[in-house]
Chain A
Amino acid sequence: MAINFQQLNTDFQQRYEGSYIRIRFPNTTDKIVFYVEKITLGKSYPLLHLINDTFGRVQLNYDSETDMFFKRPKTGYFWYQQKVALFYRKLSLRQWRRGVCLNNSQITSDYSQMIFIPTIGLNTECLDSAYKREIIPFPTAYQLIKTQQALSVPFSYKLAVGLNVTEKTTPIIWFETTPIAEIHNEGTIILVHEKHFMQEIMDFVHKEKINVRII
Chain B
Amino acid sequence: MYVLSDVHKYPPLLTCKNWRAWLQSNVSQYPEAIPLIAQLRDKKTYLGIEIEVENIREDFGDYDGYFWTCKEDNSLRNHGVEYVSNVLIGDQIVYALLDIARHIPASAIFSHRTSIHIHMNVRDMTPDQIAKFMLSYLVVERLFYLFADCNRDKNIFCVPLYDLTLIEHLFKYIQNFPNYPSPQTENTRYSGLNFDPLSTFGSVEFRQLHGTSDVSRLLIWINFILCLKQFSLTYTLDELIKEIITLNTNSEYKTFALKIFGPLLDQFPQDNLEKELEIGVLSVKRSLFSNDFKNYLEQNYTITSVALQFVQTHFRTKENIKRSQPMEPQERLNPGINIQAIPLADQIIHRGGARWAEDIQIRIPPRNPNLIPVDRR
Report, as a range, how many residues of chain A touch the other chain.
35 or more
In this assembly, does A89 line the interface, its C-beta being within 8 Å of a C-beta of chain B? yes
Task: Tell whether A113 is near chain B: CB-to-CB under 8 Å.
Answer: yes
- Is B190 a contact partner of A92 (Cβ separation < 8 A)? yes
Q: Given the interface contacts A75-B163, A179-B293, does A151 sit within 8 Å of B316 by beta carbon? A: no
Assess the B326–A115 pair: CB atoms within 8 A: yes
Query: Does A165 lie within 8 Å of B297, measured CB to CB?
Result: yes
CB pairs A–B below 8 angstroms (15 shown): A114-B298, A115-B308, A117-B311, A151-B310, A151-B311, A151-B315, A163-B307, A164-B297, A164-B306, A166-B301, A167-B305, A169-B306, A178-B291, A193-B296, A194-B293
Judging by beta carbons under 8 Å apart, are A179 and B294 in contact? yes
Q: Does B164 contact A (CB under 8 A)?
A: yes
What is the chain A residue whose CB lies nearest that of B304?
A167
CB pair B163 A194 closer than 8 Å: no
* A89/B165 in contact, CB under 8 A: yes
A-side contacts of B310, CB under 8 Å: 148, 150-151, 163
- Nearest CB in chain B: distance from A130 CB, A: 15
Apart from the given pairs A75-B163, A193-B296, 8 other A-B contacts in the complex at a CB distance below 8 Å:
A90-B159, A93-B187, A113-B354, A118-B315, A151-B315, A165-B300, A167-B302, A193-B292
Stretch at the interface among B54-62, B115-123, B282-290: B282-290
Of B294, B314, B354, the residue contacting A151 (CB under 8 A) is: B314
- Write out the residue numbers on chain A whose beta carbons fall within 8 Å of the beta carbon of B297: 114, 164-166, 172, 179
Q: Range of interface residues on chain B?
A: 35 or more
9 closest Cβ pairs, A-B complex? A193-B293, A92-B159, A163-B307, A166-B300, A116-B324, A118-B320, A196-B285, A163-B306, A165-B307
Is the CB–CB distance between B315 and A119 below 8 Å?
Answer: yes
* A residues near B168, Cβ cutoff 8 Å: 178
Known pairs A178-B168, A179-B294, A180-B293; A115 contacts B311 (CB<8 A): yes
The distance in angstroms between the C-alpha atoms of A150 and B285, with both chains bound, is: 28
- Chain A residues contacting B308 (CB-CB under 8 Å) are 115, 165
Which residues of the partner chain B approach A207 to less than 8 Å between Cβ atoms? none
List A residues 77-119 near B (Cβ within 8 Å).
83, 89-95, 98, 104, 111, 113-119
B-contact 0/1 string along A132-170, CB 8 Å cutoff: 000000000000000010110000000000111111010
B256 contacts the other chain (CB 8 A): no
A194 contacts B326, C-beta separation under 8 Å: no
Candidates A75, A119, A169, A197; contact of B285 at CB < 8 Å: A197
Q: Is the CB of A178 within 8 A of B314?
A: no
**Nearest chain-A residue to B352 (Cβ)?**
A113
Complex: how many Å from CA A114 to CA B354? 12
Interface residues in chain A, defined as those with a beta carbon under 8 Å from any beta carbon in chain B: 75, 83, 89-95, 98, 104, 111, 113-119, 148, 150-151, 162-167, 169, 172, 176, 178-181, 193-194, 196-197, 199-200
Determine the distance from Cα of A153 to Cα of B174 in the docked complex, in whole angstroms.
34
Could you mark each residue 164-196 of chain B with 1 if its beta carbon is under 8 Å from any beta carbon of chain A, else 0? 110010000000000000000011011100000
B156 at the interface (CB under 8 A from A): yes
Residue of B nearest to A116 (CB): B324
Residues on B with C-beta less than 8 A from A176 are 286
Given contacts A92-B159, A93-B190, A94-B156, contact A165 B323 (CB under 8 A): no
Chain A residues contacting B326 (CB-CB under 8 Å) are 114-115
**Is B330 in contact with chain A by the CB < 8 A criterion?**
no
Q: Is B90 an interface residue (CB 8 A)?
A: no
* Chain B window 218-257, contacts with chain A (Cβ cutoff 8 Å), 1 for yes, 0 for no: 0000000000000000000000000001001000000000
Among candidates B285, B309, B320, residue contacting A116 with C-beta atoms closer than 8 Å: B320
Complex CA distance for A181 and B353, rounded to whole angstroms: 21
Complex Cα gap A197–B298 (Å): 20
B24 at the interface (CB under 8 A from A): no
B282 closest partner in A (C-beta) = A200
A164 and B305 form a contact (CB under 8 A) = yes
B259 within 8 A of A: no
- A92-B187, A94-B190 as given contacts; A114 in contact with B301, CB under 8 Å: yes
Bound Cα distance A118, B288 (Å): 31
Within B308-362, which residues are at the interface with A (CB < 8 Å)?
308-311, 314-317, 320, 323-326, 353-355
Residues in B whose Cβ lies below 8 Å from that of A89: 163-165
B157 in the interface (beta carbon within 8 A): yes
**B301 to chain A: which residues have CB within 8 Å?**
114, 165-166
Residues of B within 8 A of A116 (CB): 320, 323-325
Q: How far is the CB of A6 from chain B (nearest CB, A)?
A: 14
A113 and B354 CA atoms in complex are apart in Å by: 9
Residues from chain A with Cβ under 8 Å of B156 in the complex: 92-95, 98, 104
Closest chain A CB from B354 CB (angstroms): 8
Q: Which residues of B contact A166 (CB under 8 A)?
A: 297, 300-302, 305
